[in-house]
Structure 1
């Protein structure tokens, strides 16, 4: 036994010396559980519990609520516009009319437009880490409606591994069904939300993946479900609440004014009817106190609060930096006095890049593109749109989605920069218009219908752009 022990100790010493990295745990500084051994399994186990806690923080923590609201508003705005890629103007006009009708009333409940629906999708993405949309087609009118599913409505407890027994056996992981090759083929959905009053206890129903749009960010290979981007800062947000409560209590204690009357000798006897009895002494504004002979007064020390604001601000900055949404600290906190123009512009530039990535990689790719494809397919199958080249040239029936642009901080400088870029052929006019979230064709139509002379307006714009900017001189 001693030989085996000595051999094991020698092997461990050899392994520690061979690795040479503290991150391997050889020094003992790293806790044993401070690692992700199985990212997919651990994320599935923690995702639903994390989403419930973050949902509570989104309704009760001021900073988390601000981050969620600003992220949702930045991602969606008032909803995107669409540009059809078909070369035929009549087909484009027909698809545009269909899209406008769908945009006005898209959900199965008939209560909001597509912009409001996307706000609910983006909110679910931020809080739950994922959002599910079910496509419902009316068989009579051949029109599409959307139904927003709760993240808990997709049965995360349903996991049925194929175990490799048969080549065609499906693999169900957390309510998501995969085929033998790997693509998603179905979702197992509960008939009603688990948190709804008098929720149904019926088993989940298999819904084809063609009828479900799953918006999520797979952080690891093979990850079937999403995790909230606020998961990393949720514990710190809870500590922020505790720190704020402690600071408020500390402020209340510091505001208390008290005094202690002491009798060093302890041999004085006071008459309770005497006006200078210590038990009757009170601190009042403008009052003059007369202490009995031999007594002195001391005041309890009060703690300083000079650094409390700095500590709270540092915690808030860490939460904003690690939230995964890109919302800057000065936007989430509303503290615009702590940022200058250059720093604010740099922070907003990073925020815009993150928002654009979320829009294109998730909202457009995982939701809007499947919605557009289903709308075009229904128009073709119903005979309302004649498309003989639908199968031969599917690229003609794609679309580009333009989200609302961000208002410039200095509109005159932004207009001058756009004019110079177009003149230098660095950017096209269509690109500049698309950055504002509008379709260049709509802008051209509005210009042609404008009663004013376009040449006179162009000349005036040229004169204005040549004027020096004396605002900051």
Structure 2
């Protein structure tokens, strides 16, 4: 008897287990049918999303502004390499000069320099979800470093899935246009010889595709799931909203156009005879070609109506008092979906304090830096630099002894502008004076080279002394004029000997 009761209680306890409401099938969740597709099957419609995203960037101001904000903040004037590990000053300056000369010739299309290519790659990635770049080796003697970079749209790599293809090595397979070996590593890309819309649509055949080894192709995208091979446009989550908001805005605009029309309608209470003669006046009724009665409307006219006629003016609906608030709410959601602060996307900073704006901008900058160091720099900038060094060493433009150090560069993104110039500079002065950071890190954060800054400062000081110019004192943070310690004098720190005494 006791065992039976114990068994019943155990079953009752086991029937009540912890669970997630989102995983239930009750009334609220019954209609939520979430497919369990894999990371690559889920993006099977990525080409259609890509086309719509590009169309939105061309025709919708919010998509265009979002793309531009990302390019401006991710790249600015360019992400520049600093060869910090090359100790020999002459070799370091020679390598930097060689790189600077090459950046003007880096584009295989002979249009942009390398830093403008960074911007183009970023824009294509944001709008299309991904972008490719092909390393083009040139003949020795045609360039100082015979290498160029060709930026290729994602359309060039088709959504091709097959286990057998002419020229495909045994054991390899093609997924999403990318050739993968048995270990899952990327070994090649199958790309069109020309943009696919330049020839008639049809089945993909071997004559249209070429196999490019993976070490000659750069693929820039941001995977959102493990194992994802291709990228999806940044606007994917907001495209439907952008379309609906644009349709709503157009409808309101047309309604306002109609409301601005001064329209009047004549109501006749006395019907006309079938022969078109007014029974009261005996005159013919003026009509259009289709027989519709018409009354001429002219500016400032005073029209005397016939007996039985009256004028009724149109009264179309207005836009409503909630239009602006509705549009602002929709743009807030659009900005959030693009990862851009609403204030930066729209330029609307009404009723936003400087402290609030500072918090918003700092959070956005953290996101920007994440994408710089997770996507742009490792997937594009560093790979181009590695190929450039290899080619420069191969043709004798760089010595072999500094090849590894020339590759191990520090990438310096375009520095951020101060939000509060005085307060921000004073805060950094105090950090340097307190030993919390180095002066070089402050300069590097602004996108400048500390060594070049010191050389420029020394040159300025020498020139001022030669010309007999007075040297302006530096106002420290909370300190007197000429005190460059940031307002903190030695001995003020608790761990200093003077403070201990």
TM-score, L = length of structure 1: 0.82
Paired position in structure 1 for 2:321: 306
Q: Secondary structure at the match of 1:44?
A: coil
Alignment of 1:84-103 (within 5 A): 84=83, 85-103=85-103
* 1:228 CA displacement: 1.2
Once residues 303 and 430 of structure 1 are traced to their aligned partners in structure 2, the CA distance between those partners, rounded to angstroms, is: 60
Q: Secondary structure at the match of 2:255?
A: helix
Q: Which is helix-richer, 1 or 2?
A: 1
Q: Secondary structure at the match of 2:474?
A: helix
Cα deviation digits, residues 180-203 of structure 1 (max 9, x gap) = 222211111111111237899733
Paired position in structure 1 for 2:183: 181
* CA 1:42–1:246: 2 relative to 1, 3 Å: farther
1:155 equivalent in alignment to 2:188: no
* 1:263 CA displacement: 7.6
Q: Secondary structure at the match of 1:125?
A: helix
Once residues 337 and 427 of structure 1 are traced to their aligned partners in structure 2, the CA distance between those partners, rounded to angstroms, is: 36
Cα deviation digits, residues 244-296 of structure 1 (max 9, x gap) = 1011012123323445666889999864879xxx9759696696988968968
Q: Secondary structure at the match of 1:461?
A: coil
From 328, 333, 337, give the equivalent of 1:322: 337
Once residues 400 and 358 of structure 1 are traced to their aligned partners in structure 2, the CA distance between those partners, rounded to angstroms, is: 16
CA contact (8 A) 2:270 2:308 kept: no
Q: Secondary structure at the match of 1:42?
A: coil
CA contact (8 A) 1:44 1:174 kept: no
1:53 equivalent in alignment to 2:66: no
From 442, 446, 464, give the equivalent of 1:452: 464
Once residues 367 and 207 of structure 1 are traced to their aligned partners in structure 2, the CA distance between those partners, rounded to angstroms, is: 17
Cα deviation digits, residues 273-323 of structure 1 (max 9, x gap) = 79xxx9759696696988968968676363452111111111111111011
How many residues are treated as equivalent by the alignment? 443
Paired position in structure 2 for 1:10: none
Once residues 175 and 329 of structure 1 are traced to their aligned partners in structure 2, the CA distance between those partners, rounded to angstroms, is: 37
Once residues 480 and 333 of structure 2 are traced to their aligned partners in structure 1, the CA distance between those partners, rounded to angstroms, is: 44
Cα deviation digits, residues 311-348 of structure 1 (max 9, x gap) = 1111111111011xx32222222223353322222221
CA contact (8 A) 1:131 1:215 kept: yes
* CA 1:198–1:26: 2 relative to 1, 3 Å: closer
Paired position in structure 2 for 1:431: 441
* CA 1:121–1:36: 2 relative to 1, 3 Å: farther
Paired position in structure 1 for 2:289: none
CA contact (8 A) 1:77 1:115 kept: no
Paired position in structure 2 for 1:234: 239
Paired position in structure 1 for 2:37: 38
* CA 1:143–1:257: 2 relative to 1, 3 Å: same
CA contact (8 A) 2:258 2:316 kept: no
From 328, 337, 359, give the equivalent of 2:372: 359
* 1:398 CA displacement: 0.5
* CA 1:304–1:125: 2 relative to 1, 3 Å: closer
Q: Secondary structure at the match of 2:133?
A: strand
Once residues 216 and 453 of structure 1 are traced to their aligned partners in structure 2, the CA distance between those partners, rounded to angstroms, is: 53
CA contact (8 A) 2:179 2:187 kept: yes
Alignment of 1:90-239 (within 5 A): 90-141=90-141, 142-160=145-163, 169-196=171-198, 202-239=207-244
In structure 2, runs of 5+ residues without a counterpart are: 1-14, 273-277, 285-292, 482-501
CA contact (8 A) 1:155 1:204 kept: no
Flag the structure with larger Rg.
2
In structure 1, runs of 5+ residues without a counterpart are: 1-15, 469-473
Paired position in structure 2 for 1:11: none
Once residues 260 and 91 of structure 2 are traced to their aligned partners in structure 1, the CA distance between those partners, rounded to angstroms, is: 72
1:370 equivalent in alignment to 2:383: yes
Once residues 32 and 44 of structure 2 are traced to their aligned partners in structure 1, the CA distance between those partners, rounded to angstroms, is: 15
1:255 equivalent in alignment to 2:260: yes
Once residues 412 and 476 of structure 2 are traced to their aligned partners in structure 1, the CA distance between those partners, rounded to angstroms, is: 31
* 1:240 CA displacement: 1.4
TM-score, L = length of structure 2: 0.78
Paired position in structure 1 for 2:12: none
Larger mean CA deviation between 287-296 and 56-65 belongs to 287-296
1:416 equivalent in alignment to 2:429: no
Cα deviation digits, residues 412-439 of structure 1 (max 9, x gap) = 2222222122112222111111111111
Once residues 38 and 258 of structure 2 are traced to their aligned partners in structure 1, the CA distance between those partners, rounded to angstroms, is: 46
Larger mean CA deviation between 201-210 and 185-194 belongs to 201-210
1:343 equivalent in alignment to 2:346: no
